[in-house]
Amino acid sequence: MGHIKTRDGTEIHYKDWGRGQPVIFIHGWPLNGDAWDDQMKAVADAGHRAIAHDRRGHGRSSQPWEGYDFDTFADDLNDLIDALGVWDVVLVGHSMGGGELARYVGRHGTGRLSKAVLLSAITPMMLQSDANPEGVPAQVFEDIKKGILNERSQFWKDTSEAFFSAARPGTKATQGNRDAFWFMAMQESIKAGVDCVTAFAGTDFTEDLSRFDIPTLIVHGDDDQIVPIDATARKAAEIIPDAMLKVYEGGSHGIAMVPGDKDRFNRDLLDFLRA
């Protein structure tokens, strides 16, 4: 484990396991790099170097008052890549981490990248509009912010149900999944929590996706109750040249953590790395 300092002095915590081609995992909201432990072990065991950082305001990274926007997140990622001196990188982004990945490509290009994976990602746009009728209504995002501000511990406990589709008949989500979600969410600063909602609700990544010129795998569950597949993954697959879309039937938003789904994703990820 280590820390790097970004251009504005923010400390970013990261984990660095194994040796070989670097695979950098970008976590979703309101999680941190620990959400990727299963995938990190799988790729490190397979001969890759697995790296996962905590976004500013999350986990063990600094909690500055400002900088919770995707330009800043992408520049933080660029600072991490520069500090580690890595090339031929595979980026894997979950949920809002997919937005961070996309904005990195939009701002910094693909010169240091070899492949990209978007898992349950918010790209290209979450907010419902006339141009994006499949998106999420603005009031939903306002209600999320109110929930965080009112009593965030209970809000995170409640939100874990939808995150893992835990109320569905036959769900494979465990109480442990929900407890881990709550634990990581409580390590996120309340300021980051609210500001990130504003950021991922209103940011349009269409132009960023159009700049992808590397092999890209898109994985999304068709029962994602947080990031609707029709507003995101299906559209992203049409924008990114030659992207491969894999839809997990009954898959929740928390694919990478739920037993069964995470094993399938690990296999798909390793196959994509080998291809």
CA dist 83 → 76, 137, 191, 207 (Å): 10, 39, 27, 27
Between CA 213 and CA 23 the distance in angstroms is 18
Q: Which of 48, 44, 80 is CA-nearest to residue 61?
A: 80
pLDDT in the model for residue 4:
98
Report the DSSP beta bridge partners of residue 93.
Answer: 26, 118
Q: Where are the alpha helices (DSSP H) in 46-95?
A: 70-84
Q: pLDDT for 223-241, tens place per residue?
A: 999 999 999 999 999 999 9
Other CB atoms within a 10 A radius of the CB of residue 273 amount to 21
Q: What is the extent of the structural domain holding 176?
A: 2-274
Count of domains in the chain? 1
Between CA 61 and CA 5 the distance in angstroms is 10
Q: Is there a catalytic annotation at residue 253?
A: yes
13, 27, 53, 95: which is the annotated catalytic residue? 95
pLDDT in the model for residue 1:
75
Against a cut of 0.95, is the pTM above it?
A: yes
Between CA 32 and CA 34 the distance in angstroms is 5
pLDDT in the model for residue 167:
97
13, 58, 220, 253: which is the annotated catalytic residue? 253
Contacts of 102 (CB under 8 A, 6+ apart): 93, 118, 121, 123, 124, 205, 208, 209, 212
Q: Is there a catalytic annotation at residue 62?
A: no
CATH of the domain at 106: 3.40.50.1820
pLDDT in the model for residue 110:
98
Phi-psi region of 23 (alpha: psi -120 to 50; beta: other; left: phi over 0): beta
- CA 216, 165, 254, 209 torsion-angle sign: positive
62, 224, 252, 261: which is the annotated catalytic residue? 224
Q: Is there a catalytic annotation at residue 58?
A: no
Instruction: Return averaged pLDDT per consecutive 10 residues of the chain, 275 residues in all.
Output: 95 98 98 98 98 98 98 98 98 98 98 98 97 96 98 98 97 98 98 98 98 98 98 98 97 98 98 97
